[in-house]
Amino acid sequence: MSPVLRFHDTIAHLELNRPEALNALSFGILGELDAIFDQLATAPVRALVITGAGPKAFCAGADIKELTHRSLTEQKRGAEFGQAVFEKLHRLPVFSVAVVHGFAFGGGMELALAATFRLVTAKAKFGLPEIKLGLIPGYGGTQRLPRLIGEARALEMIMSGRTVEAEEALRIGLANRLVEDEPFAAGLAFAREMTGYSLPVLALAREAVQRALDVPVHEGLKIEADLSTLAYQTHDADEGMQAFIDKRKPVFGDV
């Protein structure tokens, strides 16, 4: 079944809706996600929460049956397409929260890695098991995972294909928080901790961190200086500082 996009005030909810296949990612579903991320890029929302339907999986990864008997060109195009779709998620103008309940394997883990934040329930299980199939991750796992948890830990996960459960995911920085509520409710509550702040300034904060990851610290400091200067130019900055002086809660602009 197709992914489902719903809206709860200014927070979007994307549900991977193929529970009979553990929400596996066929190329057709990747195409639908591609269109959804395009829609969200201009939608009047402040955050995106991503969950998987059913009790067993966030997303069990790629649909393996579709990956066999393909030409070299088809294999490369498939990897590039998956990477491009997840990059759209990573580059959304608003932050995203993947709430992992059950399996997040292969492409499913790579989808979660492309989100801004990852929450886990006690039943969450992460893994990049491609090595067991004679493959390596192809939708961004070899690039995003070491940036998140470090080279040595990432190589261990990728080269062993082992499963990381919720508590370890939290300890090594793969997850931001362990939650007990129903996945969407937990994601919604987490998102609302930030959505009351200035939308353009939230975007500038994310950009400052993300752009600096690929450059030396001295270059990253220049990026931070440029973007913090832009933040000062927003109406929301004027409102936030004046509200502090006035000892009141700021009222930031609409989406």
Contacting residues for 99 by C-beta, under 8 A, at least 6 apart: 49, 50, 51, 58, 118, 119, 120, 121, 179, 183, 184, 186, 187
The span from the CA of 124 to the CA of 143, in Å, is: 22
Which residues are paired to 104 by β-bridges? 59, 126
Q: Which residues are catalytic?
A: 110, 130
**How does strand 4-8 pair with strand 11-16?**
antiparallel
Do 57 and 103 contact (CB within 8 A), yes or no? yes
Of 115, 142, 94, 95, the residue nearest 52 (C-alpha): 115
Handedness of CA 180, 86, 61, 40 (dihedral sign): positive
The span from the CA of 237 to the CA of 12, in Å, is: 25
Do 8 and 51 contact (CB within 8 A), yes or no? no
Q: Which two tokens stand for residue 152?
A: 């040595």
